[in-house]
Amino acid sequence: MSIRNVIAAVFFSIVAIFLIFSALMIHPFGPDDNQEKFEMDEYIIQNSQEETGADNAVTGVVFDYRGFDTLGEATVLFTAVAGVMLIFRRLKK
């Protein structure tokens, strides 16, 4: 047991305690009647068809309301491709 293992074990148990507590304390799975809690999502469900024109509300969110996130997501993929090609490049000209 090196000091590294001890630190790792402490770190792991702290994270484990945090995550288990968060799982126990978060709101119950599948809430049904407290609609006022989800105003943002309710707004999107009610208005996305009119505002974005898309039948699929998730696509409305992905490409319209949060379109900039999707640009970032596409950029992540672009970055990964560029990175893979950079690392697998030929070293000699």
Partner 1 sequence: MSGMSKIVKTMTSVAFPLAMIYGLYIIAHGHLTPGGGFQGGAVVASACAMILVSFGSVWTVRKIKEKNLSVLESLGAIGFIGLGFFGLIFGSHFFKNILVGSKNIPIFNEIGQGMSNINTAGFIPLMNFAVGLKVIAGLFAIVLVMAYATRLKEGK
Partner 2 sequence: MLFNFPYIAVVLLILIGLATVIYKRNLIKIVIGITLIESGVNLFLITLAYRKDSIAPIFHGFTASKDNVPFMSLPVPHALTLTSIVIGVAVLALMLTFIIHLYRHYNTLDARKIGREEE
Partner 3 sequence: MNISDIVFHSPALIVAIPLLGAFLTPLVAKINDKLRNIFAILIALITSVLVAILANDVFSNGIRTYVFGGGEPLVNNSYAIRILFEVDGMNAFMAIIASILTVVAIIYSWTFLKNHTGQDKYYTLILLMIAGMFGMILTGDMFNFFVFLEITSIASCALIAFYTNKGKAIDAGFKYIVISSIGALFILFAIGILYSQYNALNMAVLANSISFSFLDKIALALLISGLAMKAGIVPMHMWLPDAYGRAPSSVTLLLVGATQASLYGIFRITLSIFGKAFNTTGTVLKSATLTGDELIMVSSYPNVISIGWILIILAILTMIIGVLMALKQSNLKRLIAFAALAEIGYMLLGIGVRFASKYSEIVKMNNQEYIQIGFHGYDISALTGSIFHIINDALDIGLLFLVAGAIYIATKETSLNKLGGLARNMKYTTVFFIIGLIAVSGLPPMNGFASKLIIYESTFQLNPIIGIIAILASILLLAVFVKVLHSAFLGPKIPNLKDVKEVPKSMLFAMGIIACIIIIFGLFPNIVIDNIIQPAVNAITNHEAYIRGVFNGI
In the complex, which residues of this chain contact partner 1 (CB under 8 A)? 49-56, 58-60, 62-64, 67-68, 70-71, 73-75, 77-78, 80-82, 84-85, 88
Cα separation of 28 and 59, whole Å? Answer: 27
Burial (CB < 10 A; 0-12, 13-18, 19+), residue 74, is exposed
- Near partner 3 by CB under 8 A: residue from 30, 32, 53, 92: 92
Question: Is residue 52 a contact partner of residue 66, using CB atoms and an 8 Å limit?
Answer: no
Residues that bind partner 3 (CB under 8 A): 7, 11, 18-19, 21-22, 25-27, 37-41, 43-44, 64-69, 71-73, 75-76, 78-80, 82-87, 89-93
